[in-house]
Chains A and B, each alone.
Chain A
Amino acid sequence: MTLDQARSVPSRRALLKGGLLGAAAAAVGASSARAASGESVITEVQDWNRYPGDGVDARPYGKPSQFEADVVRRNVPWLTSDPISSVNFTPLHELDGIITPSGLCFERHHAGIAEIEPGSHRLMINGLVDQPLVFTMADLKRFPRENRVYFLECAANSGMEWRGAQLNGCQFTHGMVHCVMYTGVRLKHLLDEAGVKSSAKWLLAEGADASAMTRSIPLEKALDDCMVAFGMNGEALRPEQGYPLRLVVPGWEGNMWVKWLRRLEIGDQPWEQREETSKYTDLLANGKARRFTWVMDVKSVITNPSPQAPITHGKGPLVLTGLAWSGNGTISRVDVSIDGGRNWKTARIDGPSLPLALHRFYYEFDWDGSELFLQSRAVDEKGFVQPTKDQLRSARGPNSIYHNNGIQTWYVGTNGVIENVEIS
């Protein structure tokens, strides 16, 4: 115990000993008296109410309470052949507000987590520029800095659900999304320093990890709102999120947000890399495949109640909550249905409504204990309405993998247990 450590003054130690003896005496006394009516957590003095806890040096970097140990990223082992090229999922059903804690942001790596000492990290700009440049991390911090809150969604989020309900929990159906505040530098400032030639139209971003991840990005987008970020949620990026440097491509598919960013090449054509041909192209029923489907469409999901967060309190007041987002800007409205899309009520959006960020919505109602079919439907500032899964399938067939933003249905049984279903 900390108080027994050398630093505790003798008088305090004596005091503590007295306290311990006192507790034993009190326990004997209590058992002989009549049992108090009410909850023991109230009627009996609890340990944390009597004994001091850890001092300030015990937790130099604070972690969540030991009682939150289940709030973790989880993966689905059979999805991929090897955890080095795999994915895990944000526990959306355990979170609130719009900011995802850094340690819970889902992970998708193609060759594991690169551990890069920032002094050995460089960012190169080459290609159609007046002069190819190299920046150190310290150099990057000499450009004007900005802070922006953005969602990042993997284009394959909900990809397992194209053929029908598969995974029982919003962590698994929708957990390849997170939203943090990034600190970094606009790409435009860096490209201006190198001097982009007039024939330039595309930018290639490349990672320093063992997959050397690459994506082609139109220069227009790069100069508009892309950033190189070294910070998330007020501190340095986490290694899983690309420490020390990642690309931020607001509103566009997560794969383009290259982690461990080491190079930006300027060119006049796309490079047609593996991640924009073999992957991240959307196969349609007629055998054609869409490519360069960058924008993440308007989407929402009810995070509570949901299969991993059943209703345990019975009938009466119930708080339904969820998340909505769109790669087109802000969310203008979220509607909620409890009868499987027959009737809709507009939910309450609470907290900041920032463009290209998660939005938090609530819908409070009295549950009468009957079966429910919960759905949410988001509308974004451009007027795009979140489609149903059947609408998406009729337009694209079942093999698109990516960009499944269809309306999710949760079935609530009379016992409060919840299941991922598809309904008529």
Chain B
Amino acid sequence: MSRFRKWGLAGSAFVAIASFAIASPNQPAKTEPTERGKPRVGRVATPDEVRAWDIDVRPDGLGLPAGRGTVSAGQAIYDAQCASCHGDFGEAIGRWPVLAGGQGTLEADRPEKTIGSYWPYLSTVYDYVRRAMPFGNARSLSDDDVYALTAYLLYLNDIVDDENFELSKETFTSVKLPNEPNFIDDDRVREPYYADKSPPCMNDCKPGKAAIKMHAAVLDVTPEAGDKGETPKSGIE
């Protein structure tokens, strides 16, 4: 997959061309007369229809709408619409997701994966908040609101420290998240047990008799059973 992973200089040039090419379907009627005839099944999407649904944003900024927002504007929206679940500082209430902190914990016994400690791209914050938050009222934020919230989430994660910091379509791609270099390609097949394809052992594969090292920590998963278990620290993701 390495051919997809070229984010360096060569990649940027490539992106510039791609942005042009991909931007055109947003206004196909104006910029690009289709060489194709009428589709045999289905119909051609109108530019407004494509604009209504195509709200995804890529790391290179493709898909960012016009707009801007500051850290302080973001704080006001965050306190009103996000803090009830994600906590005043992004530390989360109960089991709602943590949004800030955790820097330096990825190698720890209990890592805390947040925008600041784990996420590779800022575009994902903009894209996700715009499409899915606030939980229960998706697609209710304006594009400027989402710029402001994204700026405030950078602030909560100590990636910017100026309350007047403004994020806009123009400045967006200049911000990098610290953990970007730590993502690697899928190399599971190189793990020893996958690399070694010799037939598995059938007899006397381990010495001695099996002994229990650990029992299920949580015995109360079925409603019928009593409440004997303890609640583990982490849930599903």
- Contact surface of A with B, Cβ cutoff 8 Å: 74, 76, 78-82, 84-85, 87, 110-111, 124-136, 139, 142-143, 156, 159-160, 163-169, 172, 193-195, 197, 199, 201-202, 204, 206, 210-212, 214, 218, 262-263, 265, 267-274, 277-279, 281, 283, 285-295, 297, 307-308, 335, 339-344, 373, 377, 379, 383-385, 387, 391, 395, 398-399, 401-403, 409, 411, 419-424
Contacting pair B106 A335 (CB below 8 A): no
Contacts of B50 in A (CB 8 A): 124, 126, 132
Tell which of B66-74, B122-130, B145-153 binds the partner: B122-130
Which size class do B's interface residues fall under? 35 or more
Contacting pair B213 A422 (CB below 8 A): yes
Q: Which of B111, B136, B194, B236 contacts A87 (CB 8 A)?
A: B236
Starting from the known contacts A401-B237, A420-B215, A421-B214, 12 additional A-B residue pairs (CB-CB under 8 Å) come to A126-B45, A132-B45, A133-B43, A160-B232, A193-B39, A212-B138, A271-B58, A273-B127, A291-B184, A341-B210, A343-B205, A385-B197
Q: Cβ of B18 < 8 Å from any Cβ of A?
A: yes
| A interface: dominant SS | loop
Q: Cβ of B9 < 8 Å from any Cβ of A?
A: no
Contacting pair A341 B206 (CB below 8 A): yes
18 residue pairs from A and B, CB less than 8 Å apart: A81-B95, A126-B45, A167-B218, A168-B221, A193-B39, A211-B131, A212-B139, A263-B53, A267-B58, A270-B4, A271-B56, A288-B182, A289-B118, A290-B184, A341-B205, A379-B199, A401-B236, A403-B188
Contacting pair B193 A391 (CB below 8 A): yes
Q: Cβ of B119 < 8 Å from any Cβ of A?
A: yes
Q: Which of A206, A218, A287 contacts B106 (CB 8 A)?
A: A287
9 interchain residue pairs of minimum CB distance: A340-B210, A81-B95, A420-B216, A132-B45, A287-B106, A383-B197, A274-B128, A387-B193, A212-B131
Contacting pair B200 A344 (CB below 8 A): yes
Q: Cβ of B171 < 8 Å from any Cβ of A?
A: no
Q: Which residue of B lies closest to A278 (CB)?
A: B119
Q: Which of B18, B36, B128 contacts A199 (CB 8 A)?
A: B18
B residues 195-228 in Cβ contact with A at 8 Å: 197, 199-206, 208-219, 221-223, 225
Contacts of A80 in B (CB 8 A): 95, 235-236
Q: Which residue of B lies closest to A197 (CB)?
A: B21
Contacting pair A419 B42 (CB below 8 A): no
Contacting pair B18 A308 (CB below 8 A): no
Q: Cβ of B169 < 8 Å from any Cβ of A?
A: no
Contacting pair A273 B128 (CB below 8 A): yes
Contacting pair B237 A131 (CB below 8 A): no
Contacting pair B222 A74 (CB below 8 A): yes
B residues 46-70 in Cβ contact with A at 8 Å: 49-50, 53-54, 56-60
- A212 in contact with B201 given A132-B25, A268-B18, A290-B188 (CB within 8 Å): no
Contacts of A281 in B (CB 8 A): 183
Contacting pair B217 A289 (CB below 8 A): no
| B interface: dominant SS | loop
Q: Which residue of B lies closest to A173 (CB)?
A: B216
Contacting pair B131 A214 (CB below 8 A): yes
Contacting pair B184 A288 (CB below 8 A): yes
Contacting pair B221 A273 (CB below 8 A): no
Q: Which residue of A lies closest to B200 (CB)?
A: A385
Contacts of A134 in B (CB 8 A): 42-45, 49
Contacts of B42 in A (CB 8 A): 133-136, 139, 193
Report Cα–Cα, A343/B210, bound state, in Å. Answer: 11
Measured CB to CB, the closest approach of chain B to A89, in angstroms, equals 9
Measured CB to CB, the closest approach of chain A to B74, in angstroms, equals 18
Measured CB to CB, the closest approach of chain A to B35, in angstroms, equals 6
Measured CB to CB, the closest approach of chain B to A44, in angstroms, equals 31
Q: Which of B15, B40, B236 contacts A79 (CB 8 A)?
A: B236
Report Cα–Cα, A295/B123, bound state, in Å. Answer: 26
Report Cα–Cα, A391/B218, bound state, in Å. Answer: 23
Contacting pair A292 B214 (CB below 8 A): no
Contacts of A110 in B (CB 8 A): 132
Report Cα–Cα, A156/B225, bound state, in Å. Answer: 25
Contacts of A379 in B (CB 8 A): 199-200
Measured CB to CB, the closest approach of chain B to A192, in angstroms, equals 10
Q: Cβ of B121 < 8 Å from any Cβ of A?
A: yes
Report Cα–Cα, A133/B37, bound state, in Å. Answer: 12
Contacting pair B212 A423 (CB below 8 A): yes
Measured CB to CB, the closest approach of chain B to A88, in angstroms, equals 11
Contacts of B60 in A (CB 8 A): 269
Contacting pair B237 A283 (CB below 8 A): no
Measured CB to CB, the closest approach of chain A to B210, in angstroms, equals 3
CB-defined interface of B5-19 with A at 8 Å, one 1/0 digit per residue?
000000000110010
